[in-house]
Structure formats: structure tokens, C-alpha cells
Chains A and B, each alone.
Chain A
Amino acid sequence: MMTADNFTFMNSDEKNQLQLERLQSTLNRAYRNIPFHRQRFKKMGIDLSGIESLAHISTLPLMMRQDISDNYPYDLFAVPLRDIVRIHTSPGTTQNPTVSGYTPQDLTNWQTILARGLAACGVTAHDILQITLSPGLSNWGRDYKYGAEHLEAGVIPHTPMSIEKKLMVLRDYKTSVLVTTPSSALQLADYIRKNEININALELKTLILTGEAVDDIQKQTLEKAFHAAVWAHYGLSEVPGPAIAFECDAHKGLHVNEDHFLPEIIDPETGMVLPDGQPGELVLTTLTTRAFPLIRFRTGDQATIIRTGCACGRTFCRIDWRGGRTDSLINIDGVKVHKKQIQRSIQDQLHLPSDASRFFIKKRDEKKYIEVWIPVNDDIFSDEIKDLETLILKVENNLLENIGIPVVIRLKEKKSI
């Protein structure tokens, strides 16, 4: 019987048949079990028996982040709650958090996907793998842990810790593989440089970067700083997880796990599918997900599909992903946020008009954060500095708790904004 890893090398004819079979049953299940999809298909007069090839998927409606929010929390689940064994919640980018559910089968699939992505970076049972991600990506931390355990690697699971402690673990525990975001890796590299830490004391040989795209300059910086090979993974922080696409040793784009996901590139303006090789917005359809299927989900990520053969021999198509967005989401250390979320939160707490504040992405010691300028009005103003500081702290803490990324508030005179 075909094992999971034979899939990566299947010929295009076999792959096409497998994807079509899985797409058709995904659509049939979604139609039967999820009123949201059924109503949309019915309204548009879509007959699912007409989906006779992968290209026909373009006749189906696109799914947005807003649809997930509108169906909060469980209305997009395709199985009864009793079948769900894990519920993930991520801050989301709309009014409601994003809730995704997993059946036992879904978890097994994710484990296979992650194990495949890690194995492609050369991770084996002899490795010690350390996971350090931002709190907003802790769901991914769990997925990486299960994937690495599947390969029988030793795992140091994701735990929030200071940079000193991270480095101590990295050195003392003889970590050979580090899974982190490019921002965190750069921050760590900066710390190592400033504190003149002997890099040769580390056993690190592989750096797996996820959450954000890494450009060539950053890659070279990191390779030099850590004396380690750098690999990129692509995932969705909201749904359903990391390593949807992974880099192989050719390092020429990221292979999409096409036995589990069907990628398309659309024109973000018109929603039309673009020919291969043209940059546009990445749209994903899940092919094996049982609990929380996505049908033509707009990721907002800018990418290009490469369908030509890869030197590694894998037949999965690749995406060229540089981190650009087709929407106004901001990616901070792998966590995506929408300005509106921050605006809404500030508005609720300070009763300010939603368009009053201004936003900046800043870096301190290579650590990215969002700085928000808030205009001071009579309600906020106090002649006690202490009161103002308390107010700022309260808003900052609230944002960190709700969105999972650091936000710095600056109170400004109205006319300077």
C-alpha cells in the first residue's frame, strides 16, 4: 500500500486522480454537512456533479476570513462536536477569534504533514529539536512537536521564555534543529553578536523558519550567524496549521503538500484564476480535512505557483512566497493582525473614533512590534502622569492578551497625528 511519503513522488496523472477524488468527496461532505457551503452553492446554482476536473473548482465561490468570523464558533465544522478531539483558537483578524476543530484523523494527517516537512529539512531521530514561537503561534508549536515526535526526534516543546533562557537551552541541551520565526531568529542572532557568544559552543545545524517569509539577505545573515542551514515553511496562522508548504534541499520555492491542499493563484482584484507563473493571491482548498474544511480560502498571501519539475524529484508543485500581502493584514513575528482589530480594541477602551490612531511597525533589537499613536483628547487627558501611564499600560496589556503581539502606545497631541 502507498505510504504517505510515496505521495510526494507520484506522477502527475496519479496525483491528478487522487486530488480529484479527494476534492469531490470534500465538496460532497461540505454540501451535506455545512449549511454555509450548501446555501452558497444552492444560491449560485452550482451542481457539484459538474466539478469534473480540478480546474472546475474555479466555478465555486471564494471563502474569506470574514466568513469564518461570521460562522463563529462552530458553524463551519463538518462533523458533530462529539467527533472533535481538539479545538484551536487563534486571535483571528476579524471581530471574532478563529476557531478550528480537529478529528483524530485530522490530527494524524497534521502529524504526517509536519513530519514530511521536517524530514525534507533533514530532521531525523538523532536530532534535538527546539521550538520557540511567539505566543500567537502556540498552536503551531504543538503541531511541530507532534510532527517531530513522529520522526522520533527529541523535542523541546514551545514554552515562552526569555532570550537568555532560549540561548541557554539552545547551548546546554545541544539543540540541533531550531524551529522559529525569521524575526525571532534575527533577534537571537543580534543578541549573540552583541553579547559576543561563542557560536561554536552550539550544536545547531538546521534552522527552520516559519510564520513569515525570509528574504535572501536575512537568510545569509542567519546562516552566517548560526553556522546552520536555513529552511522555510509556509503555513496559515489562523487555520489550519503550519508547513502547508515546505522547502526541499534545492531551496527553489516551497513544495505544497498537494495530497492535502489544492493551491490556486487568483487575481486579488477580480478573483479570477491566474495562469501558472503569474503572481497573485494564494487560495487553498483542503482535500483531507474532516472537521474544518476550507473551500477556496483566500489566504491574503502573495505567491506564484511553479509547476515545473524540481531537482529533488518531488512532484508537488511549488510556491514562490516572499511574504507580500494582498490585503491590509500586518504580519508580526508570524502572527497576522488587522489594523481594524487594534482600532476596535482601542476604540472600546478609550471611546475614540476608529480612524483616529496611526500605526507603525517598528523594530527594537530586531524584535518587531506595532507602535500606535493615539490622539489625546479631554477624556483621556489627566494632569497626573501616573494616570496616563496606567492607562497606556492597560491598553497595551489588553492588546497583547487579545492579539498576542507586542503593541506600544504613544499618546500624541491631536495635531501631530
Chain B
Amino acid sequence: MLRIRNLKCYYGRIMAVKGVSLSVKHGQIIALIGANGSGKSTLLESICGLLPDWKGDITFEETPLKGLDPPAVVKLGISLVPEGRLVFPPISVLDNLKLGAYTMYRKRRHGEVSRTLEKILELFPILKQRAKQPAGTLSGGEQQMLAIGRALMSHPKLLLLDEPSMGLAPLIVEKIFHTLETLRNEGITILLVEQNAQAALQIADFGYVFETGNIVLQGPATELLEDQEVKRAYLGKDYGEFYDDGR
């Protein structure tokens, strides 16, 4: 569905993503895990057209994404849930959601928008309760749900999520990730960027491990969860558990 070959992203003269190739297959949750600054978010930004300066090939359902601006990418069926949610605090929850459907309004598909809205409010009942409240008054978890809901308004085939668990309590993370599984089961493909490797790999089908702009490992998520190297680096296991000699 989405295929990336030799992606190189630059911030000025610094290469942040150093020739990454990966593929996302239809109906799967793909997790990109790795430490802060390893280039995961940069990769998402280049898919969405937010980062103009990249080299390599990104194709979505055979369409090259090179040179497309964010609205064009959304139109193809890709939606991003950005890091830190980025909801619009002063406006209401409902209006925030409606903003996610701006491409649909332009096509004058109002009926469809309200049906989607219904569905999203069903998926996140808390948003229905808070529909009229300004988005800024929501808790972190609720804002994350709103950000996901907003991204779903454009009927994406591929949903990109950047650190959805950031700053959230474990129980809330579990709830949100459960929602992602539901979405996958409904046929939406998900590319999930996460530092919380444990949570991400538990719901993912396949994973890629990032390190300083490179992919160093890939495999089925169940395999990566069991991998000693991954456990050591990303699953918060103590080195003492691995080395008897305290290395």
C-alpha cells in the first residue's frame, strides 16, 4: 500500500533520515519504534508533504508522493495524527472534528460528513459528551481521541500516528491503542510511530526499529517483542537482567 525506498531527509545539511526503505501492507498496523531523535517523526512528515526537502521514493497505492502538498496527500487517503495532538484549543470539539473534513466539504459531501461524525462520536463517546466544550479544556487522553477522530473525518485509507501515547497514563494508552486495533479491524491501515515500544508492538502486526536515522531491524511484532536487543534498548529492561558480569 505504502512503499518507501531510500528515503533521505535533511534539515539543512544534516541528514536526519539516512536512506530508509519500508513497506506498509493493507490492513496492518505497522509500528516504527526507536529512541527520540531517531528520525521517525521526520519520516511521517515527509509522507504527509510537510517536509519538502527529501530524496528517495515514496509511493502510495502506486502514486508517487514526491512534490505533493499536504492537502493533496490527504485527498489520496492519508491522514496524520500529529505529535502533541495539535488540536485547536479555543474552538469546540465538534468544530475541531469538522475541520478534519475540509476536503469533504469542498466536494460538497455534507451528508457524508455528518454520517462520519456520528460514527466517530460513537467510537469516542466522551467526545459526544464534550461536543460543545472548547477543545483546550479536554484532558490529554481526550485530546488524543479528538486528534484521532479529526484525522478519521477525511475517510483515510492510511492513518499515520505520531507518538499517540505521549504524556498519557497507561490506562488511557491502553484504551487508545485498543481503538487503533478496532480501526485496523475495520480495514484502516495504520502506521504508528512510537517510543512506547511495548504498547506499540503489542497491537502491531509488523515493526521496524529505527536508530539514528537508519532501520536496524524489522520483523513481525511478536518476534520483535521477544528480541533481546529490542528488549534491552526499547522495552525498558534493565541491563542487569541481561549481563551477569554487569556489562
Residue of B nearest to A19 (CB): B21
A105–B244 alpha-carbon span in the complex (Å): 22
Q: B214 to A28, Cβ gap below 8 A?
A: yes
Q: A25 to B215, Cβ gap below 8 A?
A: yes
Main secondary structure of the interface of A (DSSP, over half): helix
A18–B206 alpha-carbon span in the complex (Å): 13
Q: A49 to B5, Cβ gap below 8 A?
A: no
Q: Judge whether B223 is part of the interface by a CB distance below 8 angstroms.
A: yes
Q: A49 to B19, Cβ gap below 8 A?
A: yes
Task: List B1-37 residues whose CB lies under 8 Å from chain A.
Answer: 3, 5-6, 8, 15, 18-23, 25, 28
Pick out which of these stretches binds chain A: B76-84, B144-152, B226-234. B226-234
Residue of A nearest to B214 (CB): A28
Task: List A18-69 residues whose CB lies under 8 Å from chain B.
Answer: 18, 20-22, 24-25, 28-29, 32, 48-52
Known: A25-B218, A52-B6. A80 touches B19 (CB 8 A): no
Known A-B contacts: A28-B211, A49-B19. Give 5 more (CB < 8 A). A17-B5, A24-B19, A79-B229, A80-B243, A290-B229
Residue of B nearest to A84 (CB): B228
A270–B135 alpha-carbon span in the complex (Å): 68
A18–B21 alpha-carbon span in the complex (Å): 9
Residue of B nearest to A28 (CB): B214
Q: Judge whether B50 is part of the interface by a CB distance below 8 angstroms.
A: no
Give A208-240 as 1s and 0s: 1 = Cβ < 8 Å from B's Cβ atoms: 000000000000000000000000000000000
- Measured CB to CB, the closest approach of chain B to A107, in angstroms, equals 12
Residue of A nearest to B25 (CB): A2
Residues of chain B lying within 8 A (CB to CB) of residue A50: 19
Residues of chain B lying within 8 A (CB to CB) of residue A2: 25
Give the number of residues in B that approach A within 8 Å (Cβ atoms). 33
A280–B227 alpha-carbon span in the complex (Å): 38
Please pick, from B15, B22, B220, the residue contacting A1 in the complex, using a CB distance under 8 A: B220
- For the complex of A and B, the 6 pairs showing the least CB-CB separation, nearest first, are A49-B19, A52-B6, A49-B18, A83-B228, A28-B214, A21-B21
Residues of chain A lying within 8 A (CB to CB) of residue B3: 17
Known: A21-B22, A49-B8, A51-B19. A104 touches B226 (CB 8 A): yes
Q: B216 to A28, Cβ gap below 8 A?
A: yes
Q: Judge whether A138 is part of the interface by a CB distance below 8 angstroms.
A: no
Residues of chain B lying within 8 A (CB to CB) of residue A194: none
Q: B218 to A22, Cβ gap below 8 A?
A: yes
Q: Judge whether A103 is part of the interface by a CB distance below 8 angstroms.
A: yes
Task: List A92-120 residues whose CB lies under 8 Å from chain B.
Answer: 103-105
Q: Judge whether A82 is part of the interface by a CB distance below 8 angstroms.
A: yes
Q: A21 to B23, Cβ gap below 8 A?
A: yes
Known: A17-B3, A21-B21, A21-B22. A105 touches B223 (CB 8 A): yes
Q: B23 to A17, Cβ gap below 8 A?
A: yes
Residues of chain B lying within 8 A (CB to CB) of residue A32: 211, 216
Q: B215 to A24, Cβ gap below 8 A?
A: yes
A255–B132 alpha-carbon span in the complex (Å): 64
Known: A1-B28, A32-B211, A48-B19. A82 touches B218 (CB 8 A): no
| Chain A residues packing against B (C-beta within 8 Å) | 1-2, 17-18, 20-22, 24-25, 28-29, 32, 48-52, 79-80, 82-83, 103-105, 290
Residues of chain B lying within 8 A (CB to CB) of residue A22: 218
A375–B64 alpha-carbon span in the complex (Å): 73
Q: B218 to A21, Cβ gap below 8 A?
A: yes
A201–B219 alpha-carbon span in the complex (Å): 47
Q: B8 to A20, Cβ gap below 8 A?
A: no
- Measured CB to CB, the closest approach of chain B to A351, in angstroms, equals 42
Residues of chain A lying within 8 A (CB to CB) of residue B19: 24, 48-52
Q: Which of A1, A20, A50, A104 has the most CB of B within 10 A?
A: A1
Please pick, from B22, B56, B228, B247, the residue contacting A103 in the complex, using a CB distance under 8 A: B228
A82–B21 alpha-carbon span in the complex (Å): 30
Residues of chain B lying within 8 A (CB to CB) of residue A104: 226
A79–B6 alpha-carbon span in the complex (Å): 26
A52–B7 alpha-carbon span in the complex (Å): 9
A83–B243 alpha-carbon span in the complex (Å): 10
A229–B229 alpha-carbon span in the complex (Å): 44
Known: A25-B215, A49-B18, A51-B19. A20 touches B5 (CB 8 A): yes
A51–B19 alpha-carbon span in the complex (Å): 8
Residue of B nearest to A48 (CB): B19
A22–B219 alpha-carbon span in the complex (Å): 10
A413–B157 alpha-carbon span in the complex (Å): 83
Q: B215 to A82, Cβ gap below 8 A?
A: no
Task: List B191-247 residues whose CB lies under 8 Å from chain A.
Answer: 205-206, 211, 214-220, 223, 226-229, 242-244, 247
Known: A21-B23, A22-B218. A82 touches B243 (CB 8 A): yes
- Measured CB to CB, the closest approach of chain B to A319, in angstroms, equals 26
Q: A49 to B215, Cβ gap below 8 A?
A: no
- Measured CB to CB, the closest approach of chain B to A106, in angstroms, equals 11
Residues of chain A lying within 8 A (CB to CB) of residue B216: 25, 28-29, 32
- Measured CB to CB, the closest approach of chain A to B63, in angstroms, equals 15
Q: B28 to A82, Cβ gap below 8 A?
A: no
A103–B242 alpha-carbon span in the complex (Å): 14
